[in-house]
Amino acid sequence: MTSGGRQQTIINSLCNIKLRHIILSVLGSFILYSSRVAQHTNKINKNNMMKMGSSFTSVASTAFNMPKIGLGTLGLDPTEAKTTINEALSLGYRLFDCAPVYFNEMNIGDAFHEATTGVPRGDVFITSKLAGTFHRAEHVEPALRKTLNDLRLGYLDLFLVHWPVAFKYVDFDPSIRGWDNEDIDDSEGGKNIDPTVSLRDTWHAMESLVDKGLVKHIGVANFPVMLLHDMLSYSRIPPAVNQVEIHPYNQQPKLLEYCKSRNITVQAYSPLGTPGFKESDEPRILSDPVLNEMARSKGITVAQLCLQWSLQRGCSVIAKSSNIQHLEENLLVNHKNEFVSGAVQLSSDEMDKIAALDRGYRFFRPEEWWPENPVPVFH
């Protein structure tokens, strides 16, 4: 081999060595980067599996995936909140319906924060509502932030306008959790109704909450068709939900049909007819002979029958109970909060029989709460 040939061989060998070093260096950097990504991912996954309270300030996403059966908290004794929330989470409840005028959000927030079930925040759907005293646009966000503070949350999955009637503003200290009194729910027989507040202004303030990531979705409660129809004419973000009183004695088929045609989910509250709140002379749905006979023939309770009826009509439902047996029975209708084709189904004939029970009877009649300034919301 000539001197020039040996020199070229040495050069080629050195080039190959240098190339190998470069390749190894690049591979080493890639492996180190992949390892760090994997460690970071594992850390995120571990954090997400921490108990609920530890991950309750997660950033809101925009997907609408509301469970079909939820636990209502109206009338939930603050002293029972921790036990009831833990039992509900353990059984599989993933939707919780709250409101400041239930005067237990602080206790519910503590229950969520101290929950021992290991359910991550992202798996739970939490709703609260805007009280009538905070309808004026500048009061909407402070009211929400008060609720978030009480519930110890970073965001809500759904925020509803509780009633389509505004009341005079009641001041509060945003730094204090809970409420010292029930002034925000005191209408003084209707004297505190404020007719100068526009629902349009309230709704635009609600929309800004979505823009800021404070809530995932917004909706309404107790809205009749014409108020919904008007709202759709000016809303930039249409209501995702209309939560209304629906049970076999108050079926609201026209409202249900309208909402379905506008892609508004109807959520039924008091699906069993408020057995714990009704007056003694009011009808008792759970004692209805037609419903009892039908439930016996299917081997289920009347409560389960009513919930299944609502689900088959396309509604989601909010049922309240602190009794663990009732909590479990209610959820068994919709196993794991997903519609199961193999579950007990009502035939078209059975649905027709229940339809015939409709009386248009409401257990919640706001015009009777406000006799000094009656606002017949549903008439």
Is residue 20 pLDDT above 70, yes or no?
no
| pLDDT reported for residue 162 | 98
Mean pLDDT of the chain: 85
Tokens coding 106: 């602080």
Is residue 323 pLDDT above 70, yes or no?
yes
Instruction: Determine whether 258 is an active site residue.
Output: no
Is residue 13 pLDDT above 90, yes or no?
no
Share of the chain above pLDDT 90, in %: 71
| pLDDT reported for residue 334 | 62
Q: pTM for the whole thing?
A: 0.83
The set of residues, in sequence order, having a beta carbon less than 8 Å from that of 18 and lying 6+ positions away, is none
224 pLDDT band, cuts 50/70/90, is very high
Q: What is the mean pLDDT of residues 304-327?
A: 93
| pLDDT reported for residue 65 | 87
| pLDDT reported for residue 268 | 98
**Lowest-pLDDT choice from 23-27, 217-221, 290-294, 365-369:** 23-27
Top-confidence residue, 287 or 64 = 287
| pLDDT reported for residue 117 | 83
Active-site pick, 102, 249, 258, 269: 102
Is residue 45 pLDDT above 80, yes or no?
no
